Amino acid sequence: MSAEEKQFSLEVLTLNCWGVPVPFACKYRKERFLSIAEEISKRNFDIVILQEVWAESDYKLLQQHILKTMPYCHYFQSGTIGSGVCVFSKLAIEDSFYHLFPLNGYFHKVQHGDWFGGKGLGMCRVSIQGISINIYCTHLHAEYDMESDEYIAHRVAQAFDMSQFIKYTSGSCDLAIVGGDFNLRPTDLGYKMIVTNGNLHDCWLAKNEENESGHTNERKDNSFSTHNVQRLEPVGRRLDYLLYKANEGVDVEVGSCKLDFGKIPDKPYNYSDHEGVAARLLVQRKKDSEKSPDSTDENKLYDLLLESKTIVQKGLTKARSDNLFYTILCIVCTIALYGFWCTEMERETSHLVVVGRAVIFVTLTLLVAFLLFYKLIINKIEFKGLTGAEEDISNLCSSVKKRIKHN
């Protein structure tokens, strides 16, 4: 029997803080962030992964309290407002990197804001007792309409991109820990792709059954749950996850996994509109261990890839349709603008008519500029992103198919 080194535990937390810095968008934001900061500083976490920390003032508030007990932190800068994702750690952060998703929604959907956050996958490297740990943190594109999800192709492409990145970067570490708000239910294709292709294990499922007690968002007992979502999903939904992957020579056991950061003590509201997920990982290195075989289910992965490819192809069809629509609309508006410019006015024209013509002319000019920008820049970014995702999925799909036939 091989000798084993001493076992140690890692206390890990992931929490979506709900910190949109827009007036009236997030209730009690300042008060909640202070409570989150104070509570984390009192606890014995080794690694804390936070999402929706959009405002710099909120991040500084967290630092002010948390760094007293967790002296290392990193914020992943991205987009125009920052990724909103950060990591606090008791272990020294040795390395960090941010991988930007090729697709992040639409820039003109200002009310959604995902595009401006430059969403992606952050990675920090830490180590303890000679064991190197990759910490991955993310916040995938939100689902704004459950009945008609216009971002499903983007989110599936992000999930595949995330699983590929983790698969190819986690080989150099001993343990990979993945946390964040995936905006995916366990039954969604994207979640299955991340877990299967990334060869990851779900901490919650290791210690609990898949039931409503694990739902982290839109719960009945959360003070910020919305009636509209509650109508469609009365028991809430599980969107926040802690996943892990142990490489050769390392044993990992989930000691516990529970929901955390629910209602703030002595307050009528919660820490966030999401519940946090906290897990204790029991880790040890084994000496003279043999390499564990890859446990990826190739047939399951192949089916997931085919389904993902179908959704991405539908997204490509929509992108082509949007391009045609904006092209036609741009031509129509350009013709209208030209005709409007060539139309002469009578000298005895009222001041109101002159102002009205000026407003129409400026509006048409701005509309043509927007349509050209969307067609030539934004639509191309989406089209290339989806095309790249389709090609990458197709490549892996062919490879998996060959391995299945070979076996």
How much is the pLDDT for 27? 94
Does residue 139 have an active-site annotation? Answer: no
How much is the pLDDT for 362? 87
Cα separation, 271 vs 262, in Å, equals: 6
How much is the pLDDT for 349? 63
- Neighbouring C-beta atoms of residue 9, cutoff 10 Å: 14
Phi, psi of 243 (to 5 degrees): -120, 160
Q: Which residues contact 399 (CB under 8 A, 6 or more apart)?
A: none
Write the secondary structure of 330-372 as one string of H (helix), E (strand) and C (coil).
Answer: HHHHHHHHHHHHHCCCCCCCCHHHHHHHHHHHHHHHHHHHHHH
pLDDT tens-digit readout, 86-137: 999 999 999 898 999 988 888 778 778 787 888 999 999 999 999 999 999 9
Show the tokens assigned to 271.
Answer: 């820490």
Helices 351-373 + 298-342 axis angle, to 10? 150
Cα separation, 364 vs 97, in Å, equals: 43
How much is the pLDDT for 344? 63
What is the torsional sign of CA 22, 27, 30, 34?
negative
How much is the pLDDT for 291? 47
How far is CA 394 from its chain centroid?
A: 23
Cα separation, 300 vs 205, in Å, equals: 18
Question: Can you point out the beta strands (E) in 54-101?
Answer: 72-75, 86-89, 95-100
Specify the pTM: 0.83
Write the secondary structure of 171-202 as one string of H (helix), E (strand) and C (coil).
Answer: HHCCEEEEEEECCCCCCCHHHHHHHHHCCCEE
Nearest Cα residue to 132 out of 241, 256, 247: 247
Cα separation, 298 vs 296, in Å, equals: 6
How much is the pLDDT for 178? 98
Residue with tokens 């500084």: 60
| Parts of the chain with a pLDDT under 50 | 1-3, 291
157 and 124 in contact (C-beta within 8 Å)?
Answer: no
Residue 118 is classified by DSSP as T
CA distances from 350 to 45, 343, 345, 346 (A): 72, 16, 10, 10
What is the torsional sign of CA 57, 61, 67, 70?
negative
Active-site residue (options: 141, 274, 351, 406): 274
